[in-house]
Amino acid sequence: MANRASPGDPVVFLRDRTRWQWPEALPWILAVAIFFLQPITLNLGVQILITIIFALSLDLILGYGGVVTLGHAAYFGTGAYATGMLSAHLGWNEPISGLLAGASAAGIVGFVTGWVLLRYHGLALLMLTLALGIMMSEFANVTEAWTGGFDGLSGISIDPIFGIFENDLWRRNYYWYSLIVLFLVFLACRRIVHSAFGRSLVGIRENTQRMRAIGSPVHLRLVTIYTISAFMAGTAGALYAQVNAYVTLDVLSFARSGTVLIVLVLGGTGRLYGAFIGAFLYILIEDELAKEYPAYWELGLGFILVLAALFFRTGILGALESATGLFRRRAP
């Protein structure tokens, strides 16, 4: 008789977690439906897709690694400026290689800074990440010969994707381009969090001292996921530069770091799909309030976020999971 794994077998546990469930198709069906039905403009849709990628990168370190940061825009901005400067100054206009170059630049910065920053924790880490974001923004400002400084980086020209699909005015081609990039990033994130490495990150988040006691290389694993997170944030930034053909200091601002943190908390941390819900709702609410109340839209947005913090403490996706059981993993 063949041996059957016990219910507590970690192999069975990980295999079950990696199984796709039908609710996971819903965000992708909605993304395709938006293109054909266009209940919102595709330009807004591209912004949502880029924000989801950025939020997914933060979820890896915050939701799974337990690393709280106020300077994640440093890597978003690095990717944006790297891709933009390659195009504006060196004529490197190929979209896919330019995207990878920007993401790689952000990953390198993430590795170097993460190796230092992640030796600290708590308030010290929070302040250091904030300082990093401010320093990166000021560095971009003083190197205006390359970055354009306060006036922004112009002259970015991106070739058609595969030599065929141009960035048209209605963003049709770049919507699919952004959606494919998001799907690849999501697959990587999903593979990471459902692996043994991903489970060790959750262990580090829950009890760092115990993980050290059993011999887990805590610092190395945090630096690894931090580097991957920076690479993905740089991917979002590089995509932003290609879509808009213009980069300003806003890509490195504290406001952008704070926004992506709000997006993730609104949707739900440590769930991946929380990034989808948070980005979609935040940007739609922001857009509608800005159109209806151009002078006071931030007040309305703040009120909505207060309500979300009071009544959806595990995020909107967490509340949906509790109410419906969607996205919840069950034993085989």
Mean pLDDT along residues 24-35: 92
Give the pLDDT band of residue 89 (cuts 50, 70, 90): very high
Question: pLDDT value at position 3?
Answer: 47
Question: pLDDT value at position 56?
Answer: 97
Phi, psi torsion values for 94, nearest 5 degrees: -70, 125
Which residue segments constitute the domains of the chain, with CATH numbers given?
A: 23-324 (1.10.3470)
Residue 235 and residue 99 in contact, taking contact as beta carbons nearer than 8 Å? yes
CA gap 94, 92 in Å, rounded: 6
Rg of the chain over all Cα atoms, to the nearest angstrom? 20
CA gap 86, 163 in Å, rounded: 18
Lowest mean pLDDT among 13-27, 192-206, 296-310: 13-27
- Determine how many CB atoms are found less than 10 A away from the CB of residue 288: 14
Look at the block and give the residue holding tokens 């769930």.
Answer: 271
CA gap 332, 329 in Å, rounded: 9
Q: Which residues of 294-312 are buried (b: 16+ CB within 10 A; e: fewer)?
A: eeebeebbeebeeebeeeb
Tell me the one-letter amino acid at 80: A
Mean pLDDT along residues 321-325: 71
Give the pLDDT band of residue 332 (cuts 50, 70, 90): very low
Question: pLDDT value at position 318?
Answer: 80
Burial (Cβ within 10 Å: 0-12, 13-18, ≥19) of residue 287 = middle
Q: Where are the alpha helices (DSSP H) in the chain?
A: 10-17, 26-37, 42-59, 73-90, 95-117, 122-142, 144-147, 172-193, 196-206, 208-213, 218-244, 254-267, 273-292, 297-311, 315-324
What are 245-276's pLDDT values in tens digits? 999 999 999 999 999 999 999 999 988 999 99
